[in-house]
A and B are shown apart, each in its own frame.
Chain A
Amino acid sequence: MTVENTILICAGGACISSGEQSVKSTLEEEIKKHGLDSVVKIVETGCMGSCNLGPLMVIYPEGVFYQNLKSQDAKEIVEEHLLKGRVVQRLFYKGPTGEIKPRMKEELPFFTKQVKVVTRNLGIIDPSNIDEYIANDGYFALNKILEWSPERLIEEIKKSGLRGRGGAGFPTGLKWEFTRKSKSSEKYVICNADEGDPGAFMDRSVLEGDPHSVLEGMMIAGYAIGAQYGYIYVRAEYPLAIERLKKAMSQAYEYGLLGKRIFNTNFSFDVELRIGAGAFVCGEETALIRSVEGMRGQPVQKPPYPAQKGVWDKPTVINNVETLANLPVIINKGADWFSSIGTEKSRGTKVLALSGKINNAGLIEVPMGTTLREIIFDIGGGIPNGKKFKAVQTGGPSGGCIPDEYLDTTVDYDSLTKLGTIMGSGGMVVMDEDTCMVDVARYFLEFSAEESCGKCTPCREGTKRMLEILHRIVDGEGKLEDIDSLEELAISIKDTALCGLGQTAPNPVLSTLRYFRDEYESHIKEKRCIARSCKAMIAYTIDSEKCVGCGACARACGVNAVIGKIKEVHKINQEACIKCGSCYVACNFDAVKKVDAVDLVED
């Protein structure tokens, strides 16, 4: 037993961008200055999940959780905590009401409701050290299955009920079986790490925090289907994931866990990285295959499926990052253990990325069948600033919005499909009462239209036409027949587009039409935006009774639209106003009001 402190500092993407590096370098400097470097160990880990609290660290053996750190805080932690043994209460996590919550990481409400399978090692191990992965049972699953027949392995995965985590939810064991049965001396495994949904960062966090679990998963898949070669297709926008994957691969080669005759068996497996240029359509498997081959990333018709004719026209299995990271645990703990988690048709857990109008934005993992309410309010900590929850968007540009009356819906493949959205890869964007649902639909459709590869007409032209209509509605120029046209276009694009991108692109529009039709109608008929977010339909005015004539609004205005002398009531020149909202923010007397523009005309 050594007497020392171990400091785990989160080096996930979010913490790095909020300043983890400067905290860490101050920490190192201070530790050195006080001669503690032989008894204190600093480990950079993968994403711990509570991204909105970053930069953050956990100090063991006490397990004290410090959050929202700046580099000067690191100095205080060294002097107080490490040197004098006094915890720095000021840096503890505080609940929404300001009370200091339990100081241990394990006791934070954010962590207690989670079940970590895929993210088991995130924030626990050093992703750049293979030994730490091995210490947590890494590569034991690979060793185990190499004693099995591939058929037995496929049976085990089928029994576990694991379904693809990339979005569509196809049973993984079945996919492998098809590929195994395709006759060919050459087969491939592809890891799909082309995560591109706005608001999704599950795969990136897993790759950054536990790259070996993905490598091990690929080898397990390779053994099952009879492949000797694998590609990891990862976006160029994920430089840290790429760096850590490269390091993980070289360490695995060094240990002989990749390469020829792994564990002295006849199984050999090599892995190569393929960097994608950030085209959303390349997440679609046929487009991804073309891109791996060095061609333009455009989808082709299915069948033939990749299981028959994939990369280089050879049978190929494409699994998502999260699917692969599940595999070692399923093998180690058994299919029965895995299938005991979750619901009847959706086994296991799901990693979700919470973002938008939510207190605890970050990465979480929950059993399938957890309700949206538990996810958003218990783990996510609810909506900031006392605002009302309006909707949650799942599945990114291919998914839809779920309104508050369905908050008790469980998160699994089938119940989300029933509501007109999809599980997707796991991004959850939470929206509050200030969000205009027509504008949300427009945002996601704009994304899909921009990312359309242009190969098939319904997607290339159809999404453009839908987008034009949505622009019109948001700009206050909508016509009543626009809603019908939107629906007609949406349904025909869904039915006729070539690939998944086009077939699902209308979903955000269809689901908002289903649950928020009144918002579309009020935009068109009354020229009112219920959320008061569409600029064309709002106006700012000054309440003459509340205005004290301080001039703050006039100084804030960038276009000189506020008129009035100091100590006199101010007015807004509506012609000049660009509705930026600066005056609204600047006013300390609640005198600037946001109103519907139509009401202003009546006055």
Chain B
Amino acid sequence: MKIKNLEELQRIKEESLKNLNGRESKKRGRVVVGMGTCGISAGAKDTLRAIVDEMEKQSIDDVAVIQSGCMGLCEVEPTVEVQIGDEEPVIYGHVNEKQARRIVKEHVVKGNVLREILVKRGKI
């Protein structure tokens, strides 16, 4: 394929930029979804999808969404860990789709910890 003008060059740039997206540090913080077998069977895939979707809706691009394995808290799966800035990480349990969206709206955007689904503060 030959590039004939600026528009075509611009199009390749934009397409390619999407692929490079994952290559910057999301500095403000991270949201980790437990995606071990236990998590997935408890519905972690829906939780993850809801978080990604809500992050996009809220136009948050400085917080990383990461999948991890089992944290060892199988009884409260799906689990989500949120860490913003230098704050202590917060782990939520039994996070369904609805709670996932609340986590993004309340904790990630406003910084309010959701006490009712809180499992643990600090590192596992």
| Interface residue? A341 (CB, 8 A) | no
Are A131's CB and B16's CB within 8 A? yes
Report the minimal beta-carbon distance from A378 to chain B, rounded to whole angstroms.
22
The A/B interface has a contact count, at CB < 8 Å, of 104
| Interface residue? B48 (CB, 8 A) | yes
A263-B4, A264-B5 known; A134+B12 contact, CB < 8 A: yes
A254-267 toward B: CB 8 Å interface, digit per residue (1/0)?
A: 11110000011000
| Interface residue? A83 (CB, 8 A) | yes
Q: Chain B residues with Cβ under 8 A from A134's Cβ? A: 9, 12-13, 16
**Among candidates A60, A85, A135, residue contacting B32 with C-beta atoms closer than 8 Å:** A85
A63-B24, A83-B68 known; A256+B16 contact, CB < 8 A: no
**Among candidates A1, A2, A8, A124, residue contacting B55 with C-beta atoms closer than 8 Å:** A1
Query: How many residues of chain B have a CB within 8 Å of chain A?
Result: 36
Mark the stretch among B59-67, B99-107, B112-120 that contacts chain A.
B59-67
Mark the stretch among A20-28, A136-144, A319-327, A436-444 that contacts chain B.
A136-144
Are A132's CB and B20's CB within 8 A? yes
B2-20 toward A: CB 8 Å interface, digit per residue (1/0)?
A: 1111100100110111011
| Interface residue? B22 (CB, 8 A) | yes
Are B2's CB and A5's CB within 8 A? no
Complex CA distance for A603 and B27, rounded to whole angstroms = 66
Are B22's CB and A61's CB within 8 A? yes
A94-108 toward B: CB 8 Å interface, digit per residue (1/0)?
A: 000000000011100
Closest residue to A135 on the B side, CB-wise?
A: B16
Q: Chain A residues with Cβ under 8 A from B52's Cβ? A: 1, 3
| Interface residue? B69 (CB, 8 A) | yes
Report the minimal beta-carbon distance from A81 to chain B, rounded to whole angstroms.
9
**Among candidates A60, A106, A143, residue contacting B22 with C-beta atoms closer than 8 Å:** A60
**Among candidates B4, B12, B68, residue contacting A84 with C-beta atoms closer than 8 Å:** B68
Main secondary structure of the interface of B (DSSP, over half): mixed
Report the minimal beta-carbon distance from A60 to chain B, rounded to whole angstroms.
5
| Interface residue? B23 (CB, 8 A) | yes
**Among candidates A86, A254, A263, A264, residue contacting B1 with C-beta atoms closer than 8 Å:** A254
Are B26's CB and A85's CB within 8 A? no
Residues 105-142 of A contacting B (Cβ, < 8 Å): 105-106, 124-125, 131-132, 134-137, 139-140
Q: Chain B residues with Cβ under 8 A from A257's Cβ? A: 3
Are A135's CB and B69's CB within 8 A? no
Are B20's CB and A135's CB within 8 A? yes
Category for how many chain A residues contact B:
35 or more
Residues 1-52 of A contacting B (Cβ, < 8 Å): 1-6, 8, 39, 41, 43
Report the minimal beta-carbon distance from A96 to chain B, rounded to whole angstroms.
24
**Among candidates A8, A62, A131, residue contacting B66 with C-beta atoms closer than 8 Å:** A62
Report the minimal beta-carbon distance from A314 to chain B, rounded to whole angstroms.
29
Are B65's CB and A131's CB within 8 A? no
Closest residue to B6 on the A side, CB-wise?
A: A143
Are A85's CB and B68's CB within 8 A? yes
Q: Chain B residues with Cβ under 8 A from A139's Cβ? A: 3, 9
Are B48's CB and A3's CB within 8 A? yes
Complex CA distance for A254 and B1, rounded to whole angstroms = 6
Are B56's CB and A1's CB within 8 A? yes
A60-B22, A63-B25 known; A39+B64 contact, CB < 8 A: no
Q: Chain A residues with Cβ under 8 A from B21's Cβ? A: 1-2
A137-B13, A140-B9 known; A2+B22 contact, CB < 8 A: yes
**Among candidates A85, A135, A264, residue contacting B17 with C-beta atoms closer than 8 Å:** A135
**Among candidates A39, A84, A255, residue contacting B3 with C-beta atoms closer than 8 Å:** A255
**Among candidates A5, A60, A255, residue contacting B25 with C-beta atoms closer than 8 Å:** A60
Closest residue to B34 on the A side, CB-wise?
A: A85
Residues 209-244 of A contacting B (Cβ, < 8 Å): none
Residues 68-104 of B contacting A (Cβ, < 8 Å): 68-71, 81
Are B22's CB and A255's CB within 8 A? no
Q: Chain A residues with Cβ under 8 A from B64's Cβ? A: 60-62
Q: Chain A residues with Cβ under 8 A from B81's Cβ? A: 85
Report the minimal beta-carbon distance from A30 to chain B, rounded to whole angstroms.
14
Q: Chain A residues with Cβ under 8 A from B16's Cβ? A: 131-132, 134-135
**Among candidates B12, B26, B56, B71, residue contacting A61 with C-beta atoms closer than 8 Å:** B26
A106-B25, A135-B20 known; A3+B2 contact, CB < 8 A: no
Residues 319-339 of A contacting B (Cβ, < 8 Å): none
Q: Which of B4, B17, B23 has the most CB of A within 10 A?
A: B23
Report the minimal beta-carbon distance from A51 to chain B, rounded to whole angstroms.
21
Report the minimal beta-carbon distance from A238 to chain B, rounded to whole angstroms.
27
Complex CA distance for A125 and B16, rounded to whole angstroms = 11
Report the minimal beta-carbon distance from B11 to chain A, rounded to whole angstroms.
10
Are A62's CB and B69's CB within 8 A? no
Report the minimal beta-carbon distance from B123 to chain A, rounded to whole angstroms.
9
Complex CA distance for A39 and B22, rounded to whole angstroms = 11
Closest residue to A256 on the B side, CB-wise?
A: B2
Complex CA distance for A83 and B24, rounded to whole angstroms = 20
Report the minimal beta-carbon distance from B106 to chain A, rounded to whole angstroms.
20
Closest residue to B64 on the A side, CB-wise?
A: A61
What is A's interface to B at a CB cutoff of 8 Å? 1-6, 8, 39, 41, 43, 60-63, 83-86, 104-106, 124-125, 131-132, 134-137, 139-140, 143, 254-257, 263-264
Q: Which 6 A-B pairs have the closest CB atoms?
A: A85-B68, A63-B25, A256-B2, A61-B64, A135-B16, A131-B16
Interface pairs (13), CB distance under 8 Å: A1-B52, A1-B65, A3-B52, A6-B23, A43-B23, A60-B23, A62-B25, A63-B24, A84-B68, A125-B20, A131-B19, A134-B9, A255-B2
**Besides the contacts A60-B25, A61-B65, A143-B6, what 4 more A-B pairs have beta carbons closer than 8 Å?**
A85-B71, A135-B17, A140-B9, A255-B2
